[in-house]
């Protein structure tokens, strides 16, 4: 189970939901975890829940200054960064004709620019050591399109796959692998709070396995990609969605 012993991970958007589950699963496999979240309370609560293996690093993942501060904190605390999970994200159910330009820009910054900033900040150390694992959170909507009308959300998740594959090519000779995870609908507090019961029931009917994903199932898939068991994978996408993307 201790497949990540001695490794140090940063999880952006790691305070709760999918990111929180990822942070917990990495720690359960022996990694030291730096929990980044724009909400300081969430970051500290998750780090405390994990215990001594984790520290909180609050900050805006779309801010270059905040990202540099998070990476600096990780190195000061644990000496290095081996694993980066680009998970920071937000959603907004707005059809294109009602979408404001500033909302488009904000979602692009949080969901996509953050991956660029964090990756650029950790890569020099990874390249120097000849080892690194970068995992990017995309979504089933990259394949199906956003079901709730959030065209900017769907665009960022498709963009994350392009980012993953291109960075994987650039890093292929350095010892750094770059892969993506594309979850389906995950049974998080956010979904339980904001998805109407009738919509939830229809979504479940459309999923071949007949249920939503549990957050820990996404965390375990990320833990695999972050481990040496996935050493021969780069530029790949794990579609953890119960078959939802089939049709």
Alpha-carbon Rg of the chain, whole angstroms? 17
How far apart are alpha carbons 179 and 84 in whole angstroms? 11
14 three-class SS: coil
Active site residue 131: no
Residue 49 phi, psi (nearest 5)? -60, -40
Please name the residues in contact with 170: beta carbons below 8 A apart, sequence gap of 6 or more: none
Catalytic residue among 78, 118, 131, 153: 153
Residue 44 structure tokens? 């500290």
Contact 222, 135 (CB under 8 A): yes
Residue 15 phi, psi (nearest 5)? -75, -30
Give the Cβ contact number of residue 228 at 10 Å: 11
Instruction: Give the angle 111-189-71 at the CA atoms, nearest 5°.
Output: 40
Active site residues: 153
């Amino acid at each position: 189970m201790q497949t990540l012993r001695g490794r140090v991970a940063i999880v952006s958007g790691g305070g709760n939901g999918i990111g929180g589950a990822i942070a917990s699963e990495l720690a359960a496999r022996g990694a030291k975890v730096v929990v980044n979240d724009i909400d300081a309370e969430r970051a500290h609560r998750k780090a405390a829940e994990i215990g001594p293996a984790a520290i909180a690093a609050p900050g805006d993942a779309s801010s270059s200054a905040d990202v540099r501060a998070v990476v600096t904190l990780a190195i000061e605390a644990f000496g290095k960064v081996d694993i980066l999970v680009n998970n920071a994200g937000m959603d907004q159910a707005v059809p294109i004709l009602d979408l404001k330009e500033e909302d488009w820009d904000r979602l692009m910054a949080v969901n996509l620019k953050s991956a660029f900033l964090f990756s650029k900040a950790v890569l020099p150390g990874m390249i120097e050591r000849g080892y690194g694992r970068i995992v990017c959170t995309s979504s089933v909507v990259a394949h199906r399109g956003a079901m709730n009308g959030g065209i900017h959300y769907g665009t960022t998740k498709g963009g994350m796959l392009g980012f993953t594959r291109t960075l994987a090519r650039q890093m292929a000779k350095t010892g750094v692998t770059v892969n993506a995870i594309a979850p389906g609908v995950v049974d998080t507090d956010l979904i339980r709070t904001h998805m109407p019961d009738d919509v939830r029931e229809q979504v479940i009917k459309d999923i071949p396995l007949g249920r939503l994903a549990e957050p820990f199932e996404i965390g375990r898939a990320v833990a695999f990609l972050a481990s040496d068991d996935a050493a021969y994978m780069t530029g790949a996408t794990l579609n953890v969605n119960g078959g939802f993307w089939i049709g």
